[in-house]
Amino acid sequence: MQILKIMFALFLSIQTYYAHAQGACYNGPAKKTVFLTGAAGFIGSNFLKYMFDKYPEYQFIVLDALTYAGNLDNIPDYIKNSNRFEFIQGSVTNYRIVSSIMCRSNYVVHFAAESHVTRSIFDDSTFFETDVMGTQVMMRCLVDCGKSVERYIHISTSEVCGTAESQPMDEEHPIKPRSPYAAAKAGADRIVYAYWCTYDIPALIIRPFNNYGPRQHAEKMLPRFIIQAIKGKKLTIHGNGEQTRDWIYTLDLARALDKALHMREFSKIKNQVIHVGSGIATSVVDMARAVLKYFSMPDDYIEFITDRPGQVETHISSTEKAHDLLGWKSDVNLEQGIAETIEWYIEHRHWWERMETVAHIPVTTQNGTTVIH
């Protein structure tokens, strides 16, 4: 009897595995091929996992150059081993590679970019190659592939707007990038705009505000704070820490992108720019305090270091357009999101220890001194 029970349980688990892998018993939208660039990075890998689990009929193709920021470990094994997943190592600047994927895709989300502000001050040229020229290649392929692509989302960033000139920052905010990263992303953002003015392409631009969550590179602010706290070190802040950002949990962004891809009336969002943020501004020093609070460490475990050149002072998103057009608003509150992120970093020490050597970058300030950020 016991053997029969075990065999039955085994049969059920094999059946569940195949249902998961093949998409059996699925009542969701028709089969689609989803092309994601840069999905071995932070936001793209979180979005891939969210979509892969939610849409068992869909095929996914990831193109990623696997730069220092890309990591195949960011993609779970059950996805990598699935026949619904294809990974291609290559650059978005390569027309031949991109067009061969684009022409067999229905949905495209372009995440790939050089993404770190501090690194863009240290080594700017790759930012313009990848973010600007890569986006031009993506656009060219979208035009050349004709009608195979139904929806194309360009991932821009709130950084293209620079410091808030009016608050909250809506989609009409002037484009005033303040760092080489932001300038490259602004170029990319305007390339997409120009292509939809020139060609009838099914594109829209999403401008996320500051994302945080699992698998964010150790070079970025919140992971840096968390890693410093795990090691019992002081949390280092550029400048006085009064700069504010609008923090958005990366799965909240995934939900917004999902809505944009699946919205019934695409004409409502086609060729629109949409800001995706929480509508709440939190200062950098308050983020550091939140991390210290989680670890029961005193507030004097904060050390202020020289400010980063090209710093954005104030960022806060308008949430109106995302709500009106996508029916989306952020779900995860900051305290809960920070706690989940910290727990992930505590459990994945081997993941971030490997990247620590590239997480600190020499930056030359306007008075000519070089500091490690």
SS3 for 87? strand
Contact 70, 36 (CB under 8 A): no
From the CB of 370, what's the least distance to ligand NAD, in Å? Answer: 24
- For ligand NAD, which stretch binds (CB under 6 A), given 50-58, 196-204, 210-218, 263-271? 210-218
Pairing of strands 33-37, 107-110: parallel
Q: Which is nearer to ligand NAD, 126 or 370 (CB)?
A: 126
CB nearer to ligand NAD: pick between 118 and 210: 210
Q: Which of 33, 59, 115, 120 binds ligand NAD (CB under 6 A)?
A: 115
Any contact of residue 41 with ligand NAD (CB under 6 A)? yes
Segment near ligand NAD (CB under 6 A); pick from 41-49, 144-152, 304-312, 323-331:
41-49
Instruction: Provide the β-strand partners of residue 281.
Output: 246
267: left (phi over 0), alpha (psi -120 to 50) or beta: alpha
Q: Tell whether residue 64 is a contact of ligand NAD (CB under 6 A).
A: yes
Query: By C-alpha distance, which of 218, 245, 246, 157 is closest to 373?
Result: 218
- To which H or E segment does residue 293 belong? helix 284-294
Q: Read off the tokens for 132.
A: 């600007």
N residues, the chain: 373
- Residue 22 or 311: the one with the smaller Cβ distance to ligand NAD is 311
Binding mask 141-170 for ligand NAD (x = CB under 6 A): --------------x-x-------------
Among 33, 37, 282, 319, binds ligand NAD (CB under 6 A): 37
In degrees, rounded to 5, the angle at the alpha carbon of residue 87 between the alpha carbons of residues 85 and 273 is 85
- Write out the DSSP string of 282-346: EEHHHHHHHHHHHTT--TT-EEEEPPPTT------B--HHIIIII-----S-HHHHHHHHHHHHH
Nearer to ligand NAD, 56 or 330 (CB): 330
Least distance from ligand NAD to the Cβ atom of residue 188, Å: 8
Q: Is 185 a binder of ligand NAD (CB under 6 A)?
A: yes
- C-alpha to C-alpha distance for 328 and 306, rounded to whole angstroms: 38
- Quote the longest CA-to-CA distance of the chain: 80
Give the SS3 label for residue 22: helix
CB of 46 to ligand NAD, least distance (A): 8
- Is residue 111 close enough to count as binding ligand NAD by CB under 6 A? yes
Q: What single letter denotes the amino acid at residue 259? A: K
- Closer CB to ligand NAD, residue 56 or residue 141? 141
Among 38, 168, 213, 223, binds ligand NAD (CB under 6 A): 38
Phi and psi, residue 223, nearest 5°:
-55, -35
Instruction: Verify binding: residue 213, ligand NAD, rule CB under 6 A.
Output: no
Segment near ligand NAD (CB under 6 A); pick from 25-33, 78-86, 205-213, 233-241? 205-213
Burial of 31 (0-12, 13-18, 19+ CB in 10 A): middle
The verdict on 337 binding ligand NAD (CB under 6 A) reads no
Distance CA 215, CA 25 (A): 32
Is 42 near ligand NAD (CB under 6 A)?
Answer: yes
Q: Establish how many alpha carbons lie within 13 A of residue 99's alpha carbon, considering only the half-sphere containing its beta carbon.
A: 11
* 279: contact with ligand NAD by CB under 6 A: no
Q: Per-residue contact track with ligand NAD, 68 to 107, x per CB under 6 A?
A: -xx--------------------xxx--------------
The binder of ligand NAD chosen from 210, 244, 317, 330 (CB under 6 A):
210
* Minimum distance of ligand NAD from residue 115's CB (angstroms): 4
User: Which residue is at the shortest CB distance from ligand NAD?
Assistant: 41
Nearest-angstrom CA–CA distance, 270 and 200: 10
Cβ–Cβ < 8 Å for 171, 205: no
Question: Is residue 65 within 8 Å of residue 89, measured between CB atoms?
Answer: yes
Interface with ligand NAD (CB under 6 A), residue total 31
Residues found near ligand NAD in the complex (CB under 6 A)? 37-38, 40-44, 63-67, 69-70, 91-93, 111-115, 130, 134, 155, 157, 185, 208, 210-211, 217
